[in-house]
Each structure stands twice: as C-alpha cells, then as structure tokens.
Homo-oligomer: A and B are copies of this chain.
C-alpha cells in the first residue's frame, strides 16, 4: 500500500497532536477529576483516595495506585454492549486498565504516599482513537490533584511524584509515521504503537504492534522520536497546569 499523500484528514502535520483541552475539578466529589479532550476523544479521569491498601501490601509501609477503565456504550460509532450487563469486562478493557495503573505507579513514590490507595477511574465519553493514551495523560493530572488534596490536609508533606507522565499513540500509514491518530487513521494503520514517557524523556511503556505487515527497527526509532515530540507538548501542558511536582 503506497500512501500518495501525507495530508491528514484534519490538516495536521504528521508530528502534530490534536488540540488538547483539560478541565480540572470536572466532577465535584472525586479528590482529582479531569476531563481530557484530545480532538474528539473525551475521557473522564477521576482519582479517589482510600485510606487502606490491598491485602498483598498490608503492613508494608507502602501505598498503591490502581486504575479501572470503561467506555460508555455509545462512546463509539456503533453502540457496544454494556460490560456491566454482559457480566464481564473484556480483554481490551482489562489490558488498558492494567497499563494505566502500571504507568502511574512508575512515577509514584509509593513509600512516600503512605498506606493508602489511589483509585483511578477512566471513563470514555467519546472515542475517536487514542483513548488509552489520553487516559494516561489525563489520569496523571487527576492523580497529582488528589495528592494536592492530601498535602493540603497535611496527610503527606509533598506530592509523592517522581516525574511527569504522558502518553501518545503513533502509527504508520503507508510509508508515513503519524502521532496521535484519530479513529479513521488508527483503523487503517499498518503499525500501531503506544508510548508512555516521563517528563525527563525516559521510557515507561513501549508497545508496538504490527497490525498488517511486520515493521523494521528504523520504523521503531522513528516512532519513538516522533512520539517524544508529542509527549513533550503534553508534558509542557501538565507543567503549566500543576506546577512543580513536589
């Protein structure tokens, strides 16, 4: 398949992310509540603080961060059956929520957090590609906001965050590498990658999948370089919003 034009349907440059909009305190009860919009993808990320830890961590002097993910049935083009009605969460759902929790823990100092759990709930209101990466980027802010609440209550001295954290999707369509794919791009991509990185540019998760043809090492290198461009934009926005980490 030869890509005869690199023009994206929304006119973006290949290394350009979609317009991002962050609404903090989106709902009133959660300790951290963020609506993240990346183009037409919209995800609510709520952080809840619970003053206890899962049984496997009891009396170890450490906290925990975990995530759950869901999509509204009509967040997608066609209606999907409601997982609560089907009686189980699908494999994709479980895979994503494991990824989100793991990524957030990579930048959390769980010892400094103390014996408490932060639950992150990512609920997709509208899906137009990149819901898992938007969930990570938005959840980081919700997590930071929840930690601010703990600090304000003097339950912790400073926010136990080791670095900023953001994520972006990257794809190869024909011979062109693009970041932050919308659904119409994602569905025709030969290679699909999700990249999670810290503010210092370290890697937290690299997940690349050949959807069509297997890919080359130089593709991977290109994906990482271009992904880092998008992640820097997201990190900059996080810094502006939540300030220095501690």
**Which of A54-62, A82-90, A152-160 sits within the interface?**
A82-90
Contacts of A121 in B (CB 8 A): 72-74, 79, 82
Tell yes or no: A139 within 8 A of B by CB: no
Check A224 against B217 for contact (C-beta < 8 Å).
yes
Once the chains are docked, how many angstroms separate the CA of A193 from the CA of B205? 9
Tell yes or no: A40 within 8 A of B by CB: yes
Q: Hey, what's the 0/1 contact readout for A12-47 against B, CB within 8 Å counting as 1?
A: 000000000000000111100100000010101010
Contacts of A98 in B (CB 8 A): 91-92, 95
The count of residues in chain A whose C-beta lies closer than 8 Å to any C-beta of chain B is: 65
Check A73 against B79 for contact (C-beta < 8 Å).
no
Once the chains are docked, how many angstroms separate the CA of A200 from the CA of B217? 12
Tell yes or no: A149 within 8 A of B by CB: no
Contacts of A68 in B (CB 8 A): 73, 82, 85
Contacts of A74 in B (CB 8 A): 27, 29-30, 33, 46, 48, 119, 121
Tell yes or no: A125 within 8 A of B by CB: yes
Tell yes or no: A126 within 8 A of B by CB: yes
Contacts of A215 in B (CB 8 A): 202-203
Once the chains are docked, how many angstroms separate the CA of A76 from the CA of B28? 9
Check A89 against B85 for contact (C-beta < 8 Å).
yes
Once the chains are docked, how many angstroms separate the CA of A47 from the CA of B176? 37
